[in-house]
Chains A and B, each alone.
Chain A
C-alpha cells in the first residue's frame, strides 16, 4: 500500500532553527513569525482537522516528530510500504521572495534529516518557493541528488494558474527530474477562494478546493504543458475527484469550438487529463446510494485514483465507501499500482 498524502509539519520555527541561516533566524525572531499549523486551513478543533483519536498519543494532530507518525501509521497491521509526506505550513502566504526561498530550503532540510533519514519507507514532496519560479527551480536542483523527494508541492490557491508561461521552466525542471507536480488543497492565505471575494465560513473554504484546483487542470492542458513536457505528471491532492466527468465533458466540447486559439493543444483535453493527472481519494465526495457510487467510479475511472489516508485530516466515510464498490484488481491499483505507475522515483 502506498499512502500518497500524509502530513507532517514543524510545531514552531524553533524546529527549523538548525536549518536557517543567522540572518533568517533573527528575521523570524524579530518579526515573531510563527508556524501555527496552518490554522486557516485546518482550525485546530474542527472535526475535519483531525480524526478522532489522532491526538491520543499526546502529540499535535499533524505530527511534528517521526516517532509520532511511526506510532500512528507504521506500528499497526496494514501499514503502508511507502508514504509521501506533504508538509503544509501556510508559509507561502509570505511575499518576501528571499524569505520564501530560505524557508523552503529549511523545511526541505528538516524533512530530509528528521524524517527521510529515519525510515526508508518515507518519501516527501519538495516545498518550493512560489513567488519566483527561478527560486523554485533552484531548490529543485539543490535537491536533485536526493531521490527520496518524489514530488514538488504546489498550492491550489496561487498567483497564477500553473500552466502559465511564467511557470514553464518550473514544469521543465519537474519533468526533467521525473518529479510529479502535486497540487495540494488550500494555498496562499490571503487569496480568496472564490473568483470574487472572501467567504464567511470554513465550510465554503473547505469546499472551494475542488473547484479551485480545476483551474490548474484547464491551465496545464490549455497552455500545452504536456506537449512541451510529455513526461510531466500531476497529482491532485486533497481536492476530491467526483467533479472530473462534467469537467471533461465541458472541456472537450469547448475545445472543439475554439481550438484555433490554442493550436498547441493537439489532442482532446480529456486525453491529456486522463494520461497526465491523477487524484488522491481523500476527500471522496460520493452519492448517497451505493449503486450510484459504482457508476461514478466507472465514469471517473479507478485508474485515475491514488490511495491516501490524508493523516491526520478527517473527511468522513467517503474513502471506505469507495473501496466497497471496487473489485479486487481495481482496489489493488488504487492502493498501490496507480501510484507506482505515476511516481517514477517511488521505487528507487
Chain B
C-alpha cells in the first residue's frame, strides 16, 4: 500500500485551476462485502455477481487495460483501490485542485433491487470513508441502482446533503434507452438537489442495431456511438424539455461528434417536428443548454486546427471538462493531452473553470 498523505500539505488558497472530471476508484471486494448487510454479503459470497467482467467480453490487448504503473504493490490490489498511489500519480503529480470520482463497479446492474441498492450504499460508503474523508480534493459521483428509480432516488436523498457528492452516475447503456421515462425520477431527483447526472460507458451494451463487434478496437470507438445514441434518445423523448434544470455530463464518450448530431437534429426537426410536440425549440438548443463533455479520450485530428474548428462549430468552449481517466490505459496527462490549437481562455476553462462552474465548486481550492 502506498503511503497516504492524511493531511495534504497546506497551501495558499488559489483560484481553481485544474479539475480532473473522471477518476476511477475501484473498491476492493472485501471492502464492499464488509459494508453489506449480512443477508446480501452471504448472497454475493455464494452466488457472486451476475455479469462477467467487461475485460472478458472485450479483452484489452495489453496490461488488462490499465496504466502499467497503476497496480498497487499490495497483494490483490487493483488499480484505483489505493488512495496513496492515486494521490501520488494524479492529485499531487499534477497539483490538482479537485478530482471527480466515477466508480464503475455498479454499472453492470443485473441484480435484484434490494441487492443492487445495498451494493450502491456499500460502494458510496466506501468512497466516502476511504477517499472523500481522507483527501479534501476528491469529489464523488453517487452510484445508484439505476434500474430501480425509486431506490435510486432514496440513495440520492441519502447522499445529497453532503456537498462532496457533486453528481449522480448513470451507465452508458441500461435496460432501456436512457431517455426512457423509467429513469426520469433519477434525473428529477438529481436536478432537485442541484446535481448534474454523468453518463459513463460500462461496455455492457447489447449492440441491438448491428450485432456485436469482434474487437476491443471497435467496441472502444463505438463508445462514442453509444453516447450519440443516448443523447439522441434523451432529446427525442423530451427529457430536457421535461426537466429544464437537468445538467448532463457525457463522460469518456468523445466530444467532436456532437457537432454533426446537432446538425442532424435540427435538419430533421424542421421536417418532422409535428411528430414531437414536446420539442418546442430546435433540438440542438437542448444539447447546447444541457450537456457537458469530458475530454478523455478526445478526438485527435491529423491537423490540430480541425479540432479547434470542430469545437467552435459545436460551441463547446464552456462545456468541456478536462479528464484523465486514471487509472485506465489511455490516461491523459494535463500537460500533454489537449491540442495547442486551443485558444488560451478556452484551455483555462477546460482545465478548471468549466468544472468549477458546473459543480459549483468553491472558487478557491480547499487547503
Question: A interface vs B, CB < 8 Å?
Answer: 46-48, 156-161, 163-165, 191-204, 206-208, 210-212, 214-216, 218-219, 222-223, 240, 242-243, 245-247, 249-255, 257-262, 265, 270, 283-288, 292, 295-296, 299, 314-316, 318
Residues in B whose Cβ lies below 8 Å from that of A161: 210-214, 218
CA distance A193 to B207 in the complex (A): 9
- A223 vs B212: C-alpha distance when bound (angstroms): 13
- A159 and B207 CA atoms in complex are apart in Å by 10
Establish whether residues B299 and A192, one from each chain, have CB atoms under 8 Å apart when the complex forms.
no
Q: Are B222 and A287 in touch, CB under 8 angstroms?
A: no
| Residue B10, interface by CB 8 Å | no
Of the residues B216, B218, B228, B256, contact of A211 by C-beta under 8 Å: B228
Within 8 A of A (CB), among B271-303: 271-272, 274-276, 297, 299-302
Would you call A195 and B217 a contact (CB within 8 A)?
Answer: no
Chain B: residues with CB nearer than 8 A to chain A? 60-62, 173-177, 180, 205-218, 220-222, 224-226, 228-230, 232-233, 236-237, 254-257, 259-261, 263-272, 274-276, 297, 299-302, 306-307, 309-310, 313, 329-330
Please give, as numbers and ranges, the residues of chain A lying within 8 Å of B236 by CB-CB distance. 199-201, 203-204, 207
Contact between chains at A215 and B254 (CB < 8 Å): no
Chain A min CB distance to B324 (Å): 15
Is the CB–CB distance between B220 and A246 below 8 Å? no
Which residues of A are found within 8 Å of B229, using beta-carbon distances?
Answer: 193-195, 208, 211
Q: Report the bound CA distance from A292 to B206 in whole Å.
A: 36
- Cα–Cα distance between A285 and B302 once the two chains are bound (Å): 23
Q: For A251, list chain B residues within 8 Å (CB).
A: 221
**Which of B60, B214, B265, B269: most chain A Cβ within 10 A?**
B214
Which residues of B are found within 8 Å of A270, using beta-carbon distances? 302
Chain A residues near B211 (CB-CB < 8 A): 158-161, 164
> Which of B173, B180, B213, B255 counts the most A-chain CB atoms under 10 A from its CB?
B213
User: Measured between alpha carbons, how far is A195 from B171 in the docked complex, in Å?
Assistant: 13
Closest to A295 in B: B309
Q: Assuming A196-B174, A240-B264, is B209 touching A203 (CB within 8 A)?
A: no
Tell whether, in the assembled complex, residue A258 and residue B175 are in contact, meaning their CB atoms are under 8 Å apart.
no
Q: Are A203 and B268 in contact (CB under 8 A)?
A: yes
Asked if B225 and A215 make an inter-chain contact with CB atoms under 8 angstroms apart, the answer reads: yes
Nearest opposing residue in chain B for A192, CB measure: B208
Most chain B C-beta atoms within 10 Å of own C-beta, residue among A192, A204, A283, A285: A204
Q: Is the CB of B209 within 8 A of A157?
A: yes
